[in-house]
Amino acid sequence: KLATIEQLQKVIDNSKSIVFFGGAGVSTESGIPDFRSVDGLYNQKYDYPPEEILSHTFFMKKTEEFYRFYRDKMLCLDKKPNKAHLKLAELERAGKLSAVVTQNIDGLHQAAGSRRVYELHGSVLRNYCRNCRKFYSAEFIKNSTGVPTCECGGIIKPDVVLYEEGLSDSVVTGALNAIQTADTLIIAGTSLTVYPAAGFIRYFRGDTVVLINRDSTPYDSQADLVFRGKVGEVLGELRV
User: What are the residues binding ligand NAD (CB under 6 A)?
Assistant: 23-25, 27-29, 32, 34-37, 40, 103-106, 121, 188-191, 193-194, 212-215, 230-231
Asked if residues 70 and 158 have their Cβ atoms less than 8 Å apart, the reply is yes
Is 212 annotated as a binding-site member? no
- The separation between CA 172 and the C-alpha centre of its own chain, rounded to angstroms, equals 14
Q: Which is nearer to ligand NAD, 83 or 150 (CB)?
A: 83
Q: d(Cα 171, Cα 121) in Å, to the nearest integer?
A: 9
36 in a known ligand binding site: yes
Q: What angle do CA 38, 41, 43 make, to 5 degrees?
A: 45
- Shortest separation between residue 21's beta carbon and ligand NAD, angstroms: 10
CB nearer to ligand NAD: pick between 15 and 191: 191
Q: Which is nearer to ligand NAD, 35 or 118 (CB)?
A: 35
Question: Active-site residue among 56, 85, 109, 121?
Answer: 121
Q: Is 127 annotated as a binding residue?
A: no
Which is closer to ligand NAD, CB of 28 or CB of 98? 28
From the CB of 16, what's the least distance to ligand NAD, in Å?
25
CB of 90 to ligand NAD, least distance (A): 18
> Is 85 an active-site residue?
no
Q: How far is the CB of 171 from ligand NAD (least distance, A)?
A: 13
**CA dihedral sign of residues 142, 145, 146, 147:** negative
Annotated ligand binding at 76? The verdict is no
Residues ≥6 apart with Cβ < 8 Å to 35: 24, 41, 42, 50, 191
Q: Please tell me whether the peptide bond between 218 and the residue prior to it is cis, using omega within 30 degrees of 0.
A: no
Burial-class residue 37 by CB neighbours within 10 Å (0-12, 13-18, 19+): middle
Counting beta carbons within 10 angstroms of the beta carbon of residue 152, is it exposed (0 to 12), middle (13 to 18) or buried (19 or more)?
A: exposed
Say if CB 163 and CB 54 are below 8 A apart.
yes
Q: Which is nearer to ligand NAD, 99 or 125 (CB)?
A: 125
- Is 152 assigned a ligand-binding role in the annotation? yes
Integer Cα distance of 13 and 67 in angstroms: 45
CB 199 to ligand NAD: min, Å: 12
Binding-site positions for Zn(2+): 129, 132, 150, 152
Binding-site positions for nicotinamide: 35, 105-106
Give the residue numbers marked as catalytic. Answer: 121
Binding-site positions: 24, 28, 35-36, 103, 105-106, 121, 129, 132, 150, 152, 190-191, 213, 231
